[in-house]
Amino acid sequence: MPKKHGKQERGIVELYHDDPERADWLVFGRRSGPDRRGFLKGAGLASMGAVVGGTIPFSANMPMGLIPNALAETVEEFSMDSKHGDMVIHNDRPVNMEAPAHLLDDDVTPAEAHFVRNNGAMPSPVSKEDWRLTIDGEVNETLELSYDQLMEDFDLVTMRLQLECGGNGRSGFNPQPRGNPWMIGAIGNAEWTGVRLSDLLRRAGLKASAVYTGHEGYDPHLSGDSDRLSISRGGPIAKMMDPHTIIALKMNGEDIPVAHGFPARVVAPGWAGSVSQKWLTRVQVLDHQHTGPGMTGLSYRVPRHPVEPGTDVPEEDMEVLASMPVKSVITNPRAGTEVTAGRPFELRGQAWAGDNWVTGLDVSFDYGASWHPATVEPAPNRYSWQRWRAEVTLPLTGYYELWARATDNLGRSQPVVVPGWNPRGYLNNSCHRIDVTAV
Protein backbone atom coordinates (compact mmCIF):
# COMPACT_ATOMS: atom_id res chain seq x y z
CA MET A 1 0.00 0.00 0.00
CA PRO A 2 1.30 3.50 -0.73
CA LYS A 3 2.34 5.31 2.39
CA LYS A 4 0.30 8.15 3.80
CA HIS A 5 1.87 11.57 3.89
CA GLY A 6 1.56 13.21 7.30
CA LYS A 7 2.52 16.79 6.42
CA GLN A 8 -0.53 18.96 5.86
CA GLU A 9 -1.18 22.57 4.83
CA ARG A 10 -3.05 23.54 7.98
CA GLY A 11 -3.39 26.60 10.15
CA ILE A 12 -4.09 26.85 13.83
CA VAL A 13 -7.83 27.49 13.42
CA GLU A 14 -8.31 24.49 11.12
CA LEU A 15 -6.30 22.26 13.45
CA TYR A 16 -8.35 23.11 16.51
CA HIS A 17 -11.64 22.95 14.65
CA ASP A 18 -11.03 19.44 13.31
CA ASP A 19 -9.37 17.74 16.26
CA PRO A 20 -8.53 19.86 19.31
CA GLU A 21 -6.75 17.05 21.16
CA ARG A 22 -4.43 16.31 18.27
CA ALA A 23 -3.95 20.05 17.70
CA ASP A 24 -2.97 20.46 21.32
CA TRP A 25 -0.32 17.79 20.86
CA LEU A 26 0.93 19.24 17.56
CA VAL A 27 1.01 22.88 18.70
CA PHE A 28 1.97 22.50 22.33
CA GLY A 29 3.72 19.12 22.27
CA ARG A 30 1.64 17.69 25.11
CA ARG A 31 -1.05 15.08 25.75
CA SER A 32 -4.66 15.61 26.68
CA GLY A 33 -6.36 14.08 29.68
CA PRO A 34 -5.74 14.35 33.42
CA ASP A 35 -1.98 14.05 33.09
CA ARG A 36 -1.56 16.71 30.44
CA ARG A 37 -0.49 19.63 32.68
CA GLY A 38 3.15 20.58 32.47
CA PHE A 39 3.76 19.21 28.98
CA LEU A 40 4.19 22.66 27.42
CA LYS A 41 7.93 22.71 27.90
CA GLY A 42 11.20 22.31 26.07
CA ALA A 43 11.00 22.89 22.32
CA GLY A 44 7.21 23.30 22.40
CA LEU A 45 7.36 26.03 25.01
CA ALA A 46 10.24 27.76 23.24
CA SER A 47 8.37 27.72 19.92
CA MET A 48 5.16 29.06 21.41
CA GLY A 49 7.09 31.73 23.30
CA ALA A 50 8.74 32.82 20.06
CA VAL A 51 5.37 32.98 18.34
CA VAL A 52 3.70 35.17 21.01
CA GLY A 53 6.83 37.27 21.55
CA GLY A 54 7.92 36.37 25.07
CA THR A 55 7.91 33.86 27.90
CA ILE A 56 4.65 32.31 29.15
CA PRO A 57 4.92 32.27 32.96
CA PHE A 58 1.84 30.13 33.60
CA SER A 59 2.14 27.88 30.55
CA ALA A 60 1.42 24.75 32.60
CA ASN A 61 -2.07 26.09 33.31
CA MET A 62 -3.05 26.72 29.68
CA PRO A 63 -6.17 24.63 28.94
CA MET A 64 -6.17 22.25 26.02
CA GLY A 65 -7.35 23.87 22.79
CA LEU A 66 -6.67 27.43 23.92
CA ILE A 67 -5.54 29.65 21.05
CA PRO A 68 -3.43 32.44 22.58
CA ASN A 69 -5.19 35.77 22.22
CA ALA A 70 -2.12 37.24 20.50
CA LEU A 71 -2.79 34.79 17.67
CA ALA A 72 -6.57 34.82 17.77
CA GLU A 73 -6.74 38.56 17.05
CA THR A 74 -4.24 38.54 14.19
CA VAL A 75 -6.71 38.31 11.32
CA GLU A 76 -9.30 40.71 12.69
CA GLU A 77 -6.76 43.52 13.05
CA PHE A 78 -5.09 42.73 9.73
CA SER A 79 -8.33 42.58 7.74
CA MET A 80 -9.72 45.74 9.32
CA ASP A 81 -6.61 47.69 8.44
CA SER A 82 -5.96 46.67 4.85
CA LYS A 83 -8.63 44.41 3.38
CA HIS A 84 -12.19 44.79 2.14
CA GLY A 85 -14.76 43.78 4.71
CA ASP A 86 -16.27 41.16 2.37
CA MET A 87 -13.06 39.12 2.18
CA VAL A 88 -13.47 35.48 3.22
CA ILE A 89 -11.01 34.46 5.94
CA HIS A 90 -9.92 30.82 5.94
CA ASN A 91 -7.15 30.91 8.51
CA ASP A 92 -5.61 33.30 10.98
CA ARG A 93 -2.18 31.75 11.42
CA PRO A 94 -0.99 31.63 8.75
CA VAL A 95 -3.22 34.36 7.31
CA ASN A 96 -5.19 33.09 4.31
CA MET A 97 -8.13 34.92 2.74
CA GLU A 98 -9.89 35.19 -0.61
CA ALA A 99 -12.23 37.55 -2.42
CA PRO A 100 -15.86 36.68 -3.11
CA ALA A 101 -16.56 36.78 -6.83
CA HIS A 102 -18.14 40.24 -6.89
CA LEU A 103 -14.89 41.81 -5.60
CA LEU A 104 -13.06 40.56 -8.71
CA ASP A 105 -14.98 42.80 -11.10
CA ASP A 106 -12.17 45.37 -11.48
CA ASP A 107 -9.84 44.85 -14.42
CA VAL A 108 -6.99 45.73 -12.05
CA THR A 109 -7.46 44.04 -8.68
CA PRO A 110 -7.04 46.51 -5.80
CA ALA A 111 -4.83 45.38 -2.94
CA GLU A 112 -7.81 45.36 -0.58
CA ALA A 113 -9.49 42.66 -2.70
CA HIS A 114 -6.41 40.60 -3.62
CA PHE A 115 -6.25 37.17 -2.01
CA VAL A 116 -3.61 36.42 0.63
CA ARG A 117 -1.90 33.04 0.85
CA ASN A 118 0.71 32.73 3.59
CA ASN A 119 2.64 29.69 4.74
CA GLY A 120 4.45 31.33 7.65
CA ALA A 121 3.79 34.17 10.05
CA MET A 122 3.17 37.68 8.77
CA PRO A 123 6.64 39.25 8.99
CA SER A 124 7.67 42.61 10.36
CA PRO A 125 8.67 44.48 7.21
CA VAL A 126 12.33 44.97 6.32
CA SER A 127 12.94 48.57 5.20
CA LYS A 128 13.74 49.25 1.58
CA GLU A 129 17.08 50.70 2.69
CA ASP A 130 18.12 47.55 4.56
CA TRP A 131 16.68 45.00 2.13
CA ARG A 132 19.01 43.06 -0.19
CA LEU A 133 18.44 40.48 -2.91
CA THR A 134 21.08 37.80 -3.47
CA ILE A 135 21.43 35.98 -6.80
CA ASP A 136 23.79 33.03 -6.43
CA GLY A 137 24.37 29.38 -7.23
CA GLU A 138 25.01 28.27 -10.81
CA VAL A 139 26.03 31.76 -11.97
CA ASN A 140 29.33 33.32 -12.97
CA GLU A 141 29.00 36.18 -10.49
CA THR A 142 27.06 36.33 -7.23
CA LEU A 143 24.99 39.51 -7.06
CA GLU A 144 23.79 41.37 -3.99
CA LEU A 145 21.40 44.09 -5.05
CA SER A 146 19.63 46.85 -3.13
CA TYR A 147 16.14 48.15 -3.79
CA ASP A 148 17.55 51.36 -5.27
CA GLN A 149 19.87 49.42 -7.57
CA LEU A 150 16.94 47.47 -8.96
CA MET A 151 14.97 50.67 -9.48
CA GLU A 152 17.83 52.58 -11.09
CA ASP A 153 20.15 50.10 -12.82
CA PHE A 154 17.62 47.91 -14.63
CA ASP A 155 14.73 48.55 -17.00
CA LEU A 156 11.43 48.85 -15.17
CA VAL A 157 8.34 47.22 -16.65
CA THR A 158 4.67 47.57 -15.66
CA MET A 159 2.16 44.84 -16.51
CA ARG A 160 -1.15 43.47 -15.32
CA LEU A 161 -0.35 39.92 -14.22
CA GLN A 162 -2.55 37.17 -12.86
CA LEU A 163 -1.61 35.37 -9.66
CA GLU A 164 -3.65 32.34 -8.65
CA CYS A 165 -3.22 29.91 -5.79
CA GLY A 166 -2.73 26.35 -7.01
CA GLY A 167 -5.54 25.28 -4.66
CA ASN A 168 -8.09 27.80 -5.92
CA GLY A 169 -11.36 25.86 -6.10
CA ARG A 170 -10.25 23.18 -3.61
CA SER A 171 -13.64 23.29 -1.87
CA GLY A 172 -15.21 21.65 -4.93
CA PHE A 173 -13.38 18.33 -4.59
CA ASN A 174 -15.01 15.31 -2.94
CA PRO A 175 -13.60 14.04 -0.70
CA GLN A 176 -12.24 17.50 0.06
CA PRO A 177 -8.47 17.42 0.59
CA ARG A 178 -6.93 19.14 3.59
CA GLY A 179 -5.89 22.74 3.17
CA ASN A 180 -7.64 26.06 2.84
CA PRO A 181 -11.11 25.48 1.35
CA TRP A 182 -10.64 28.02 -1.43
CA MET A 183 -13.74 28.69 -3.51
CA ILE A 184 -13.15 30.89 -6.60
CA GLY A 185 -11.42 33.98 -5.20
CA ALA A 186 -7.79 32.92 -4.68
CA ILE A 187 -6.94 34.87 -7.85
CA GLY A 188 -5.92 38.45 -8.51
CA ASN A 189 -4.82 40.58 -11.43
CA ALA A 190 -2.91 43.53 -10.01
CA GLU A 191 -0.69 45.91 -11.96
CA TRP A 192 2.89 45.07 -11.03
CA THR A 193 5.98 47.20 -11.64
CA GLY A 194 9.45 45.72 -11.39
CA VAL A 195 12.46 44.34 -13.22
CA ARG A 196 12.61 41.26 -15.38
CA LEU A 197 14.20 38.37 -13.52
CA SER A 198 15.85 37.42 -16.81
CA ASP A 199 17.81 40.70 -16.74
CA LEU A 200 19.17 39.86 -13.30
CA LEU A 201 20.07 36.32 -14.32
CA ARG A 202 21.85 37.59 -17.43
CA ARG A 203 23.76 40.11 -15.31
CA ALA A 204 24.87 37.29 -13.00
CA GLY A 205 25.68 35.04 -15.96
CA LEU A 206 23.95 31.68 -16.07
CA LYS A 207 26.20 28.65 -16.23
CA ALA A 208 25.40 25.84 -18.65
CA SER A 209 24.44 23.73 -15.63
CA ALA A 210 21.58 26.06 -14.62
CA VAL A 211 18.19 24.34 -14.86
CA TYR A 212 16.05 25.57 -11.95
CA THR A 213 15.73 28.28 -9.33
CA GLY A 214 15.06 28.17 -5.60
CA HIS A 215 13.49 31.24 -3.93
CA GLU A 216 13.71 32.33 -0.30
CA GLY A 217 11.90 35.01 1.70
CA TYR A 218 12.18 36.57 5.14
CA ASP A 219 8.76 35.51 6.49
CA PRO A 220 9.29 33.59 9.76
CA HIS A 221 8.34 29.95 10.17
CA LEU A 222 5.25 29.41 12.31
CA SER A 223 7.37 27.55 14.87
CA GLY A 224 9.53 30.61 15.43
CA ASP A 225 12.62 28.61 14.44
CA SER A 226 14.83 31.06 12.54
CA ASP A 227 16.65 28.19 10.80
CA ARG A 228 13.48 26.94 9.10
CA LEU A 229 11.96 28.38 5.92
CA SER A 230 8.19 28.79 5.72
CA ILE A 231 8.23 27.92 2.04
CA SER A 232 10.89 27.88 -0.67
CA ARG A 233 9.78 27.13 -4.19
CA GLY A 234 11.18 27.93 -7.60
CA GLY A 235 10.77 27.16 -11.28
CA PRO A 236 12.51 25.97 -14.43
CA ILE A 237 14.99 28.40 -15.95
CA ALA A 238 12.80 28.75 -19.05
CA LYS A 239 9.92 30.13 -16.95
CA MET A 240 12.26 32.39 -14.98
CA MET A 241 13.68 33.78 -18.24
CA ASP A 242 10.20 34.59 -19.58
CA PRO A 243 10.08 38.41 -19.93
CA HIS A 244 6.82 38.44 -17.97
CA THR A 245 8.42 36.88 -14.88
CA ILE A 246 9.55 39.81 -12.76
CA ILE A 247 10.88 40.89 -9.41
CA ALA A 248 8.01 43.18 -8.48
CA LEU A 249 8.75 46.40 -6.56
CA LYS A 250 5.36 48.13 -6.82
CA MET A 251 1.74 46.94 -6.73
CA ASN A 252 -0.80 49.18 -8.46
CA GLY A 253 1.71 52.03 -8.48
CA GLU A 254 2.38 51.93 -4.73
CA ASP A 255 4.84 50.15 -2.48
CA ILE A 256 3.82 46.50 -2.21
CA PRO A 257 1.70 46.02 0.95
CA VAL A 258 3.35 43.87 3.60
CA ALA A 259 0.71 41.17 3.13
CA HIS A 260 1.74 40.87 -0.51
CA GLY A 261 5.50 40.74 -0.11
CA PHE A 262 7.02 44.16 0.71
CA PRO A 263 9.45 45.36 -0.47
CA ALA A 264 9.93 42.90 -3.34
CA ARG A 265 8.57 39.59 -4.56
CA VAL A 266 8.67 37.27 -7.55
CA VAL A 267 5.71 37.40 -9.90
CA ALA A 268 5.75 34.34 -12.16
CA PRO A 269 2.30 34.77 -13.75
CA GLY A 270 0.19 31.89 -14.94
CA TRP A 271 1.77 29.37 -12.57
CA ALA A 272 0.73 28.40 -9.05
CA GLY A 273 1.14 31.51 -6.90
CA SER A 274 3.56 29.74 -4.54
CA VAL A 275 6.28 30.10 -7.21
CA SER A 276 5.92 33.87 -6.79
CA GLN A 277 7.84 34.10 -3.51
CA LYS A 278 6.87 36.98 -1.26
CA TRP A 279 9.29 38.97 0.93
CA LEU A 280 12.04 37.83 -1.44
CA THR A 281 15.67 37.78 -0.28
CA ARG A 282 17.34 35.19 -2.48
CA VAL A 283 17.15 33.54 -5.89
CA GLN A 284 19.46 30.55 -5.98
CA VAL A 285 20.20 29.06 -9.39
CA LEU A 286 20.40 25.26 -9.26
CA ASP A 287 21.59 22.39 -11.42
CA HIS A 288 18.57 20.29 -10.37
CA GLN A 289 14.91 20.70 -9.52
CA HIS A 290 14.57 22.59 -6.26
CA THR A 291 13.83 20.51 -3.14
CA GLY A 292 12.92 23.26 -0.65
CA PRO A 293 9.79 23.36 1.54
CA GLY A 294 6.78 23.24 -0.78
CA MET A 295 8.58 21.35 -3.58
CA THR A 296 8.39 17.72 -2.42
CA GLY A 297 5.86 15.18 -1.17
CA LEU A 298 2.32 16.26 -2.03
CA SER A 299 2.95 20.01 -1.85
CA TYR A 300 2.04 21.75 -5.12
CA ARG A 301 2.21 18.42 -6.91
CA VAL A 302 -0.42 16.36 -8.72
CA PRO A 303 -0.58 12.73 -9.88
CA ARG A 304 1.00 11.98 -13.24
CA HIS A 305 -2.03 9.84 -14.08
CA PRO A 306 -5.71 9.95 -13.04
CA VAL A 307 -6.44 8.41 -9.64
CA GLU A 308 -9.58 7.35 -7.78
CA PRO A 309 -10.82 9.98 -5.30
CA GLY A 310 -9.30 9.48 -1.87
CA THR A 311 -6.28 7.52 -3.15
CA ASP A 312 -2.93 7.73 -1.35
CA VAL A 313 -0.53 8.55 -4.17
CA PRO A 314 3.19 7.66 -3.79
CA GLU A 315 5.55 10.63 -4.06
CA GLU A 316 7.29 9.12 -7.08
CA ASP A 317 3.97 9.23 -8.97
CA MET A 318 3.55 12.99 -8.41
CA GLU A 319 4.76 15.88 -10.57
CA VAL A 320 5.20 19.59 -9.83
CA LEU A 321 2.46 22.02 -10.85
CA ALA A 322 3.31 24.17 -13.84
CA SER A 323 0.86 26.30 -15.87
CA MET A 324 -2.60 26.80 -14.39
CA PRO A 325 -5.60 25.72 -16.53
CA VAL A 326 -8.17 27.87 -18.34
CA LYS A 327 -10.69 29.39 -15.94
CA SER A 328 -13.30 32.12 -15.51
CA VAL A 329 -15.35 33.88 -12.87
CA ILE A 330 -18.72 35.61 -12.97
CA THR A 331 -18.39 38.96 -11.22
CA ASN A 332 -21.76 40.58 -12.08
CA PRO A 333 -24.53 40.21 -11.11
CA ARG A 334 -23.79 39.23 -7.56
CA ALA A 335 -24.87 35.73 -6.59
CA GLY A 336 -28.29 35.59 -4.94
CA THR A 337 -29.63 38.80 -6.45
CA GLU A 338 -32.86 39.43 -8.34
CA VAL A 339 -33.17 40.32 -12.02
CA THR A 340 -36.23 41.13 -14.12
CA ALA A 341 -37.67 38.31 -16.22
CA GLY A 342 -37.93 39.13 -19.92
CA ARG A 343 -35.57 42.09 -19.67
CA PRO A 344 -31.89 41.87 -20.79
CA PHE A 345 -29.10 42.42 -18.30
CA GLU A 346 -25.32 42.26 -18.48
CA LEU A 347 -23.56 39.12 -17.31
CA ARG A 348 -19.83 39.74 -17.04
CA GLY A 349 -16.61 38.56 -15.48
CA GLN A 350 -12.94 37.73 -15.98
CA ALA A 351 -11.19 34.80 -17.69
CA TRP A 352 -7.59 33.60 -17.78
CA ALA A 353 -5.59 30.60 -18.95
CA GLY A 354 -2.20 30.22 -17.25
CA ASP A 355 0.58 30.34 -19.84
CA ASN A 356 -2.04 30.60 -22.58
CA TRP A 357 -4.88 33.00 -23.33
CA VAL A 358 -8.65 32.94 -23.65
CA THR A 359 -10.16 32.87 -27.13
CA GLY A 360 -13.80 32.32 -26.28
CA LEU A 361 -16.35 32.20 -23.50
CA ASP A 362 -19.90 30.85 -23.45
CA VAL A 363 -22.66 31.26 -20.90
CA SER A 364 -25.68 29.13 -20.05
CA PHE A 365 -28.83 29.70 -17.99
CA ASP A 366 -30.41 26.26 -18.57
CA TYR A 367 -27.86 24.02 -16.82
CA GLY A 368 -25.71 23.59 -19.91
CA ALA A 369 -28.46 22.45 -22.29
CA SER A 370 -27.57 25.43 -24.48
CA TRP A 371 -24.62 27.81 -24.57
CA HIS A 372 -24.44 31.40 -25.82
CA PRO A 373 -21.24 33.21 -26.82
CA ALA A 374 -19.95 36.16 -24.84
CA THR A 375 -17.62 38.91 -26.04
CA VAL A 376 -14.06 38.45 -24.79
CA GLU A 377 -11.83 41.51 -24.72
CA PRO A 378 -8.13 41.23 -25.58
CA ALA A 379 -5.67 41.38 -22.71
CA PRO A 380 -3.60 44.58 -22.34
CA ASN A 381 -0.54 42.34 -22.08
CA ARG A 382 0.06 38.62 -21.99
CA TYR A 383 -0.71 36.98 -18.63
CA SER A 384 -3.40 39.50 -17.74
CA TRP A 385 -6.88 38.16 -17.28
CA GLN A 386 -9.48 39.16 -19.88
CA ARG A 387 -12.83 40.87 -19.46
CA TRP A 388 -15.86 39.10 -20.93
CA ARG A 389 -19.46 40.30 -21.30
CA ALA A 390 -22.76 38.79 -22.42
CA GLU A 391 -26.32 40.09 -22.65
CA VAL A 392 -28.75 37.63 -21.07
CA THR A 393 -32.55 37.59 -20.94
CA LEU A 394 -34.24 35.09 -18.63
CA PRO A 395 -37.56 34.09 -20.18
CA LEU A 396 -39.64 33.24 -17.10
CA THR A 397 -39.79 34.10 -13.43
CA GLY A 398 -38.09 31.70 -11.05
CA TYR A 399 -34.72 30.37 -9.89
CA TYR A 400 -31.83 30.22 -12.37
CA GLU A 401 -28.18 29.26 -12.38
CA LEU A 402 -25.84 31.20 -14.65
CA TRP A 403 -22.78 29.28 -15.84
CA ALA A 404 -19.60 30.49 -17.58
CA ARG A 405 -17.24 28.32 -19.64
CA ALA A 406 -13.94 29.68 -21.05
CA THR A 407 -11.88 28.19 -23.87
CA ASP A 408 -8.16 28.80 -24.43
CA ASN A 409 -6.07 29.16 -27.59
CA LEU A 410 -5.35 25.40 -27.60
CA GLY A 411 -9.08 24.61 -27.72
CA ARG A 412 -9.31 23.45 -24.11
CA SER A 413 -12.52 24.39 -22.28
CA GLN A 414 -13.51 24.36 -18.65
CA PRO A 415 -15.30 21.19 -17.57
CA VAL A 416 -18.81 21.47 -16.17
CA VAL A 417 -17.94 19.08 -13.34
CA VAL A 418 -14.90 19.13 -11.06
CA PRO A 419 -11.90 17.65 -12.90
CA GLY A 420 -9.65 14.80 -11.74
CA TRP A 421 -9.27 14.46 -7.97
CA ASN A 422 -5.79 14.86 -6.48
CA PRO A 423 -4.53 14.59 -2.87
CA ARG A 424 -4.11 18.32 -2.28
CA GLY A 425 -7.02 19.66 -4.30
CA TYR A 426 -5.17 21.58 -7.01
CA LEU A 427 -6.23 22.74 -10.50
CA ASN A 428 -10.00 22.77 -10.13
CA ASN A 429 -11.13 24.74 -13.17
CA SER A 430 -14.75 23.65 -13.35
CA CYS A 431 -17.29 26.19 -14.59
CA HIS A 432 -18.16 28.95 -12.19
CA ARG A 433 -21.88 29.31 -11.55
CA ILE A 434 -24.06 31.71 -9.61
CA ASP A 435 -27.74 31.74 -8.71
CA VAL A 436 -30.20 34.52 -9.46
CA THR A 437 -33.95 34.85 -9.18
CA ALA A 438 -35.99 36.32 -12.04
CA VAL A 439 -39.02 38.29 -10.85
Structural domains of the chain in order of their starting residue, each with its CATH number: 12-70 (no CATH), 94-320 (3.90.420.10), 327-438 (2.60.40.650)
Phi-psi region of 239 (alpha: psi -120 to 50; beta: other; left: phi over 0): alpha
Q: What local confidence, expressed as pLDDT, does residue 224 receive? A: 84
User: Could you give the percent of the chain with pLDDT greater than 70?
Assistant: 82
b (16+ CB within 10 A) / e for 270-282? bbbbbbbbbbbbb
pLDDT range class, residue 38, cuts 50, 70, 90: very low
**pLDDT for res 25:** 53
Give the confidence band of 52 by pLDDT, cuts at 50, 70, 90.
low
Confidence (pTM):
0.84
Classify residue 315 as left (phi > 0), alpha (psi -120 to 50) or beta: alpha
Distance CA 434, CA 426 (A): 22
Task: Compare 429 and 9 and report the one with higher pLDDT.
Answer: 429
pLDDT band at 82 (very low <50, low <70, confident <90, very high): confident
Amino acid making up residue 156: L
Tell me the average pLDDT of the chain: 88
pLDDT score of 21 more than 70: no
Give SS3 for 149.
Answer: helix
Q: How far apart are CA 432 and CA 294, in angstroms?
A: 28
Tell how far CA 111 is from the center of its chain: 14
Q: Which of 4-13, 132-141, 246-255, 341-350 has the weakest average pLDDT?
A: 4-13
Rounded to an integer, what distance in angstroms lies between the CA atom of residue 146 and that of residue 155? 15
Of 306, 298, 273, residue with least CA distance to 182? 273
104, 350 Cβ separation under 8 angstroms: yes
What's residue 36's pLDDT?
42
Question: 122, 81 in Cβ contact below 8 A?
Answer: no
Low-confidence winner among 28-37, 151-160, 186-195, 396-405 (lowest mean pLDDT): 28-37
Kindly tell me if the per-residue pLDDT of 6 is higher than 50. no
Q: By three-state DSSP, how is residue 15 classified? A: helix
**CA 13 → CA 1, 180, 306, distances in Å?**
32, 11, 32
Instruction: Please say whether the beta carbons of 36 and 64 come within 8 A.
Output: yes
Q: How confident is the model at residue 42 (pLDDT cuts 50, 70, 90)?
A: low
Integer Cα distance of 85 and 103 in angstroms: 10
> In angstroms, how far is CA 219 from the centroid of its own chain?
15
Q: So what's the pLDDT on residue 9?
A: 43
Q: Cα angle vertex 279, ends 274, 280, to 5°? A: 80
Residue 8 is predicted with a pLDDT of 42
